[in-house]
Amino acid sequence: MMKYIKQNWKFCIFMILMCIIGGYFTTIYSINLLDQKMIDDVIKQAGSKEIVIVVSVIQVTLYAVILGAIGLVLSNKIGLWKKIEKNKNAIIGVITISIVGGLLMSVFDRYVFGNFINPVLHSYDNKPSLEYIISSLTYGAVCEEILLRLFLMSLLSWIISKIFYRKEKEIPIKVFIIANVISALSFALLHIPATIQTFGYIDGLLLFRCLLMNVLFGLSFGWLYRKYGIGYSMLAHFGAHLISKLIWLLFI
């Protein structure tokens, strides 16, 4: 493990910094979604709001960095790890996914899902907070890619290859595709609690919205990871959030 960490120390430092920043702003945003009674109960148990934030940031950073280190090793072993290098096709993929994803998360969500789901429509009444924007650009774009692509997709690919293709000299592409589908589904399912926290409930339409949007994003980011490396999947995830928030701020 240490060999891979030393070879990619810049990525490891970047991963740690982004997880700390993402953990902090995600915690602040999550606390702001709670009603005052729940906030008071949490602070009473922990001792202070500052302690709650520090503990949350430490937890986020630790599990993301540990799983990220495991993913770094596994991805090197199975051929998924790629250093970020200038690649025209990768850049085109990132720009395309960022634009389409940004439109889906803002225009499509507001004017299509919003027509059928009133809470979604009214969620656009107020502009996104600074904490929410920074959280989506750091925790969303970096930490989620570490957990779902670098770790989970690599782990699934490694397990599937060891069980079914251990005699093969090279891991078949279909192994990575299967792993991508499973990790994309996991990505979507893990967003269900956030949907419940945001809207206060979950029903069939909200569940469909959550699964559809996040499966599509997960498959796209996983494709970039497989083809061009984790750096490009992070860039696309970052770009989709950035464009969606800019559209929300300026036009919705």
Question: What is the band of 46 on the pLDDT scale with cuts at 50, 70, 90?
Answer: confident
Q: What is the pTM of this model?
A: 0.95
Structure tokens belonging to residue 82: 């790629």
Give the per-residue pLDDT at 35.
77
Contact 189, 202 (CB under 8 A): no
Mean pLDDT of 55-59: 94
Rounded mean pLDDT, 96-113: 97
Q: How confident is the model at residue 49 (pLDDT cuts 50, 70, 90)?
A: confident
* Average pLDDT over all residues of the chain: 94
Report the percent of the chain where pLDDT is more than 70: 100
Angle 88-103/230-251 helices, nearest 10 degrees? 40
Tokens for 4? 């891979």
**CB proximity list for 11: less than 8 A, separation 6 or greater:** 72, 231
